[in-house]
Structure 1
Amino acid sequence: MAKRQINVRVDEDVYAAIEERAAAAGMDVPDYARQVLADEGNDLRHRFLDAGDHFTEEWGEHFAERFGHPAPTRHETRGKAA
């Protein structure tokens, strides 16, 4: 398969955040960026995430009653005072 190149400019803060996430994933920045872009271009992944949203809307309350409520994720607690 032929490879195509994408050049993207980001400001220093964005790059630092990407670099931090890449390191946490055990990857260098180009490999991490390649993986993120590949994930975004993956239709099957998006269909899976949409199905998860649908499940949560339809069955979330019943699931929580049966199995308990999960702890909030980092995303849900970001920016909230402790």
Structure 2
Amino acid sequence: MAKTQLNVRVDEATAEVARERALQRGMSVNRYIEELVRKDAGEVGHTFVEAAADFMEQYRTVFDEEFGKEGEARP
């Protein structure tokens, strides 16, 4: 996968925490930030799926009336 350079400005305290956390994990700051973003993106995706499942459960009867129940032949 090709890499793209991304410049980010943060205050010195945030930069120091990032350096310390990366060092504790034995990785570069770049890798640490990349993993944080990937994790965050994954959580957002997971939250979306949960919300969609909740929506489907809430409106199950509406969908059943409109499209028929699962496994039921549609007229």
Could you tell me the TM-score, scaled by structure 1's length?
0.46
Task: Please give the alpha-carbon distance, in whole angstroms, between the structure 1 residues aligned to 2:26 and 2:3.
Answer: 24
Match of 1:10 in 2: 10
- State the 4+ residue runs in structure 1 displaced beyond 2 angstroms: 1-7, 45-48
List alignment gaps of at least 5 residues for structure 2. 51-75
| Aligned CA distance change for structure 1 residues 25 and 46 (closer, same or farther; 3 Å) | farther
SS at match of 1:7: coil
Could you tell me the TM-score, scaled by structure 2's length?
0.50
Match of 1:29 in 2: 29
What are the residue-to-residue correspondences of 1:21-60 with 2, within 5 Å?
21-43=21-43, 47=46
Aligned alpha-carbon RMSD (Å): 2.3
Q: Which has the higher contact order (CA 8 A, sep 6+)?
A: 2
List alignment gaps of at least 5 residues for structure 1. 52-82
**Deviation for aligned residue 1:35:** 0.6
**Deviation for aligned residue 1:46:** 6.4
| Aligned CA distance change for structure 1 residues 42 and 20 (closer, same or farther; 3 Å) | same
